[in-house]
Amino acid sequence: MTTIDTLLEESGRTFADEAGITLKDEPAPLYRLLVLSVLLSSRVQAQLGTRACRELVDSGFGSPEKMRDAERSAVHDALSRARFLSKDQTTDALQEGAGLVADRWGGDLRRLRREADGDLATLRDLLTEVPRLGPVGASIFVREVQAVWPEFRPHLDDKALDAAASLGLPRDAAELAGQVDGDDLARLAAALVRTEVRAES
């Protein structure tokens, strides 16, 4: 079994899957991935972010309209139940971001995809307009969404590439992508990031 096969077998679960998101090119799962990316971009432990995302969706805030129109205290309480940090700022950011998604893209991030028109830099710029979604969060979103938006493959950010190099694999996204099926790229990226996070802890 190759190093990549081992990675996929042991750690190849996307963060979206861990958060209970069955990722499809449809409005609801794409929005939930955006929420997850906001939560993970605050550099919390991945487990905290995925748990908070699950709690928000289970509490009925899995669409931009529901998040935007919810009582602030209800969103805050959901984050509290997940034991998430920075609850005040995150609540405000999530509700403001939901308003942006609802107003600018009609609640459908496939419109954002069309606006980006296959250009990664444009996609990242659009994503970072979302409150509390900086370059780290945008990278998380692209890393995961490449599973259903293949025009942005291969996307392996510096964290994933650093992990690849530490394992003796090529530190080159195209070269790594050539060693897996395209549909497995998001899983490989997640596995590499988990490896890097473990090495840092």
pLDDT of the chain, 201 residues: tens digit per residue: 799 999 999 999 999 999 999 999 999 999 999 999 999 987 778 899 999 999 999 999 999 999 999 999 999 999 999 999 899 999 999 999 999 999 999 999 999 999 999 999 999 999 999 999 999 999 999 999 999 999 999 999 998 999 999 999 999 999 999 999 988 999 999 999 988 766 554
Asked if the peptide bond before residue 131 counts as cis, ω within 30 degrees of 0, the response is no
Q: Model pTM greater than 0.85?
A: yes
Cα 189 to Cα 43, 59, 103, 145: the distances in Å are 17, 29, 32, 11
Evaluate whether the domain defined by 3-195 bears CATH number 3.40.50.2300.
no
Q: What angle do CA 157, 162, 168 make, to 5 degrees?
A: 130
Which sequence spans correspond to the domains of the chain?
3-195
